[in-house]
Each structure stands twice: as structure tokens, then as C-alpha cells.
Amino acid sequence: MYSMLMQRKNLKYLLPIVGMAVIIYGFNKYNSEKDKEAVIFALVRDALTNVHLQPKEMNDELSTEIFDAYIESLDYNKLFFTLGEVKALEEYRYDLDNAFYSANTAFFEKSYTAIIKGIKRSKEIYTRLLTESFDYQEDDQLFSDAEERPFSADISALENSWEKHLKWRILNRIYEKETAQKEDAETDPEVVIKDFITLEKEARQKELELQEEWYEDLMDITRIEWFGMYMNAYCETFDPHTNYLAPQQNENFELSMTGQFEGIGAQLKQEGDYIGIERIIAGSACWRQGDLEAGDRIIAVAQGDEEPVDVIGYKVREAIKLIRGKKGSEVRLTVKKKDGSRQIIPIIRDVVEIESTFARSAILDGKSYKKKEGQFVLTKELKTKTGYIKLPKFYVNFYDKDNRNAADDIKNEIIKLKKEGVDGIILDLRNNGGGSLQAAVDIAGLFTGYGPQVQVKSFQNGTRSKNNKNYPVTWDGPLVVLINNYSASASEIVGAALQDRGRALIVGPSKSTFGKGTVQNMFDLDRAVNGALRNLKPLGAVKITTEKFYRISGGTTQLQGVVPDISLPGAYDLIEIGEKKYDHALPVDFIEKATYAENENWTKSFKKAIKASEKRVAQDSVYQKSMEYAQWIKAGEDNAFIPLDYPSFTSFQDSIKEEGKRFKNLYKLKDSTGVVPLPDHLVMFQTDSVQQDIYTKWYKTLSKDAILREGIEIIHSLK
């Protein structure tokens, strides 16, 4: 959850920083790179020590953590530095705390020279190695987790590391091509099947192209961006959400905060040699298509029916150039799913459909249907009419009170559903990463009434309650809130408030929500300098954790998240997901309980519904299979090595593919739940065919959602 960018009230926190910069640099004219870096260092340091919620005293222990984190960020795959070169930098291991207080950039200068030297050397190594075929029968293996790989003892060992790295990438590419041509041959007898020798040669040529592009990308990284990595080694020892953003990164961040996205609408991130899907933008083209998921990795991009371009080894900014395109054109992404299976996903490019990011609702009639001989046959009927509300994010407009906000929209959807006589409401916050704090407080108030919904502790104001003062109770009937691992921040505030007040049953296929109980403020460093230092702009910005949220019960969502009252077996139950995965995440602590009234009217009904759900889930093959899936994914995470001989590699990949088939569409129902459009939707469909198409696809998704089916059953138990 973020506060508004560069609010004027934030400037007062930068006053000590401005003073320090002037003291250090006086009023002379400075404009060199080194001057700029030293000023940024001083500004970041003073921001961290004066503004962060829980500032730290720098010492030798933190110094060594900063050193290790920075070296890892420079050479995560252990392909640029030898052990001896890392040891040459070790003289600074216990001195980075002193550098922090003096804004001394000597270590950065030495490390920058070293990494550029290592990158340039890598070009000669990979170019030479890729001129000839490797031995693909040799019994060898590679650490699956780059973090576990040791630095190479010398240049000879470094070349061996490069050989393993390249061999793995080529084997991966050969396997993907072999798989694709076999699948194509099943439907097209004209497909020419290439032999291993041909595929290997093509794979090496492609790899050389990609390495050249990768090298150029690395050499394009500006010195200030490298310095940003150094600053972030300091920032992230305070907490994982505190970061320095170099000028270009800051510009990109501001752009993302406007809510205007182009292309397919997925937020991408670098994951070693892969482009990973960090999150799906609600309302976007890929959100509507439905197959692309957070955690997927893109391995190839094709323009419609054209030949796919292999993007393993691409940087995010290069992949974006291929993925973006004219509205209405098709892009086909070949992705690796989280379970290791391969899927081609066609997406029609579009601008983000803003309307689709807003709250929307439907009626679930409690009936189940199965298609038989072209006809839908009723297979089950619950005498329950359930209202369903999907909230993709907690939106609010800070600048125009007349614009839409999430709380007003949720209130309006509830009123519509009440008019249709629903017996209960399901509020779906799955994959909702948060947004406006005020919207979260007001939405919780729609179900609880006036009073405290969350507590906030900040470095300047201490602890205070955030109360709903704007909305009376709009719905007092049965209520279920759906969550998952990726429900975060504002979603956790709503879930926790309703749970603490005994107002709703929290249900989800996870052990807990994400566990992010902090808020960040953005500080524009350009606003902190004037006079002689003005020549050094742009300086970037620093995003700092300034507040922490607490439940009204006195607990916290930080690390712990919100634990569902009914925890359905989830595919990722046995692996670590969320805030607790991050190093230096702020700890769990507790404060005094706020004054509020708990609703005891639902206690007996909740206990009954929980027991009934546990009984259903224990007998449901979907959830039994989900537990198997979780165990399989955990076993895959525990694989420490990747085989590098082709027979073993193929067998390894085939086993992943075959197992993946067992769990395909795990939470997709075999039958369908009845979904009924609201009257105002039907009116809209008469004049807006685009919205009709969007909603029809959405209704189809709802009708096949196994988690939603369980929510309907729970509402039936509560009514």
C-alpha cells in the first residue's frame, strides 16, 4: 500500500536532509558523477535515519549483510566474479557502516570497475564456448538455485561455470523445440522434424545472439543505475519495501501509479534468465483472457501466427518491445507454468479496460448444471440466491471527490443485490493487492457500521485508530470473504476487521494472506536540493516504509497475514509465499486492543458452517488432488540440481510435463454454477456489445470456479 506520490506534507521530513547536503558540499558548483553519487548517498542515508518507521543503527553485522546483498545483486549467477575478485573487495566488508555515515563511495567505485571488467571478460568466454558443440552425454549437473552456487575458484573454474550455464540453456531450448515440433506434427503431417544435431546447432546460434543482446543490455546500464543497486543494498536491510529508485526507475514507477497500462496488462520482472509474471493488471487484456497467471515465466513471444522469438535471457525492457503492439493485434506467449508445464497463450492486445478494474457483481442462483448431449441438465439445486461482488483493487481518486471510489461502488453493488433479494453476499478479494487505506476502512464499515477498522502506527504520530465515519451498515446478512496468498495490504485490513468483529467468514485456498502490513511513502530527492546542488538533478527518489498496520484486536497482518476461518487446501500450501519470504521483513509485534463491539449474532452459525465445509472438503476430489499438487510442487522446489546430460534432462522435463497434466485446470469445475446477470447489466448489453462480451466471459469464469462453489455452499449454511 502506498501513499500519494510526493505529497507536500512529506517535504518537511526532507528539511534535515537538505541541511546536511549543504553542510557537506557548501555552495560550490558540483556536477560530476562522483559528486552526484555522494549527494544521493547522503540524501538516502538521512531519509532512512529520519523517516523510516524502524530506523537501524549501522554496525559491522549490517555492514556484512549489505556487502553480501550487493555482491549478489551484481553477480547473482556467479558468472562475472571469481572468488579471488570477491576477496579483493572484502576489505570493505566491515566498513560499509562507516561509509554510510560519511557518504563515502570508495567501495562502489572499486566494485563498479570490477563488475564492468567481469562483464567484458564474459563476452570472450561465451563467444569462444559457443563456437563448438558441447558434450551432452557427459554426466554433469547444475545447481537449480543460483544462490547456492559457489563463486569459481579461478578463471578456469569460471569458464567451467559458463559451460554448464550455456549447456543448460541450450538443452532447455532443444527440449522446447522438440516438444513443439512433436505437438505440431500431431495436427500437421507437413511439419519437418529436425534431428538433434540440427536443433543443437540452431540452439547454439540462438544462444550466441541472446548472449550478445544480453551483453549489450548490461553495457547499457548506466553508472547511476549500478549505483542504485548499491543504495538498495543499504535500503533493503531496513525492510524489503524500502528502495532507492534511480531517475529512470522513478519515472517508470510514477507512470505505473497512474493506472495507465499498455499491451497485455501484465507486470513483468526479471528472474535470472527468465521474464516472470509478477502480477496481472485487473481489467487488462490478459486478465480478461484468463490463462496468464502470476508466477508464470515467458519463454517465447510470437506476433500472431509468426515464428516465436525465444526470450530466455532477454531483459524485461527488451521483452516488452515484443509484447507491446497495436490495439487489436494478437501476441502469443509461450510460458512455463509454476508446475513446469508449457502453454501457448494467445492474447489480443488492448489498453487497460478501466471499467473492468471497478467493483462488479452478479447473482449465483445455487443451481449446478452439466452439459449432456448438447443440453444443460440440472444436477444440484441449493435453495439459495447468493450475491457475488468482485473487487480487483481498492481504488480512490484523491483529486476529484466526484470521481468513483471503491467504497461507493461496493455500496451501490450491495444495494442492487438487495433489490434482487439475495440471501447472502460473497466479497471476492482474491489476488487483490491493495490500494487506498481509506477505501478499505470505509468498505469494512459497510458491513460493520461506524467505528475503528484498523490501527496505524507511524514514526511521527504514534498509534491511532482509523475509523469508518462515512458509511452506515449497508448489509447485515450472511457474508463470506474470499482471499488467497496474493490478497495483500488493504485486502488484509478488510478481512482482519470483519474477522475480528465476528462479522464474516474468511475463506480461501491458502494458509494465510500475503502478510504485508506496512505502508510506504515516496520522497522525491530533487525537492531536497537547491542552490549549487541543483546542477546534479535528476537524483531519483526513495520509497520508505513509514507506517505499520495493526488489527483492531491488537495483532498485526505483518508476516502473519489473515488466517482464513475456512482454509481450503491450496496448491502452494507447502512452499513459502508472501512477506515472510523476504529478508529483513519487519517483525510481528502487538499493540493495545482498540475499543469496538464484537458481533456475536453469527457465532453459532459460523461454527455450523465451518463444520459443514470441512466435511464437504474432505470428500471433494478437487481438494484431495490439490493436496497432492502441493506435495508435488514442494518436491520440485527441493530438487537441488538440474541434470546436464540430454537423456536425463529429457526424462526430468518429461516427468514434469506428465505430472503437470494431472493437475491441469485443478480448480475448474466439471459442471457449471448458474450465474444470473443483474438487470442493469442486461440493459447495458442492449447497447454495448463490447461490455456484453466482457461480462459473458466473466460469467463463464465464475460458473467454473470451484472455490466460488464452496462459497455458495457456505452462504447456504449461514442463511
Kindly report the CATH number assigned to the domain that includes residue 422.
3.90.226.10
710 by Cβ neighbours in 10 Å (0-12 / 13-18 / 19+) ranks as: buried
pLDDT at residue 8 is higher than 50: no
End-to-end CA distance of the chain: 34
Contact (CB, 8 A) for 4 and 523: no
What does the chain come to in residues?
719
What is d(CA 146, CA 148) in angstroms, rounded to the nearest whole number? Answer: 5
- Claim to verify: residue 418 and residue 269 sit in the same structural domain: no
- Decide the pairing of beta strands 479-482 and 505-508: parallel
What b-and-e string marks burial along 118-132, b requiring 16 or more CB atoms within 10 Å of the CB? bbeebbebbeebbee
For the residues of 246-284, what is the DSSP string, one character each?
Answer: -HHHHHHHHHHHTT---TT-EEEEEETTEEEEEEEPTTS
- Confidence category of residue 268, pLDDT binned at 50, 70, 90: confident
- Confidence category of residue 665, pLDDT binned at 50, 70, 90: confident
pLDDT at residue 259 is higher than 60: no
- Claim to verify: residue 227 and residue 371 sit in the same structural domain: no
In this predicted model, what pLDDT tens digit does every residue of 422-476 receive, in sequence order? 999 999 999 999 888 889 999 999 999 999 999 999 877 889 999 999 899 999 9
Which range (197-206, 574-583, 654-663, 665-674) has the least confidence?
654-663
Residues spanned by the domain of 436? 355-526+541-622+670-718
- Claim to verify: residue 72 and residue 192 sit in the same structural domain: yes
Average of pLDDT values for 699-716? 96
- Confidence category of residue 533, pLDDT binned at 50, 70, 90: confident
What is d(CA 283, CA 431) in angstroms, rounded to the nearest whole number? Answer: 13
- Claim to verify: residue 366 and residue 430 sit in the same structural domain: yes
- Claim to verify: residue 435 and residue 299 sit in the same structural domain: no
The type of residue at 394 is: F
pLDDT at residue 66 is higher than 60: yes
In-domain check, residue 325: yes
In-domain check, residue 493: yes
Contact (CB, 8 A) for 700 and 708: no
- Claim to verify: residue 200 and residue 229 sit in the same structural domain: yes
In this predicted model, what pLDDT tens digit does every residue of 315-349 receive, in sequence order? 787 888 899 888 889 999 999 988 888 899 999 98
In this predicted model, what pLDDT tens digit does every residue of 602-633 receive, in sequence order? 999 999 999 999 999 999 988 988 898 888 88
In this predicted model, what pLDDT tens digit does every residue of 185-233 receive, in sequence order? 888 888 889 999 999 999 999 999 999 989 988 998 889 999 999 999 9
In-domain check, residue 154: yes
- Claim to verify: residue 593 and residue 679 sit in the same structural domain: yes
Within 290-388, where are the H helices?
316-323, 354-357
- Claim to verify: residue 364 and residue 343 sit in the same structural domain: no
Q: Residue 335: its pLDDT value, please? A: 93
Which range (78-87, 159-168, 174-183, 261-270) has the least confidence?
261-270
For position 297, which CATH number holds?
2.30.42.10
In-domain check, residue 651: no
Q: Which three cell numbers stand for residue 224?
A: 547511476
Average of pLDDT values for 651-664? 84
In-domain check, residue 221: yes
- Claim to verify: residue 289 and residue 215 sit in the same structural domain: no
Percent of the chain, pLDDT > 70? 91
- Decide the pairing of beta strands 479-482 and 424-428: parallel
Total domain count, the chain: 3
For the residues of 524-561, what is the DSSP string, one character each?
Answer: EGGGG--GGGGGG----EEEEEEEEEE-TTS---TTT-
- Claim to verify: residue 336 and residue 367 sit in the same structural domain: no
Cβ contacts of residue 145 below 8 Å, gap of 6+? 640
The type of residue at 63 is: S
The three-state secondary structure class of 507 is strand
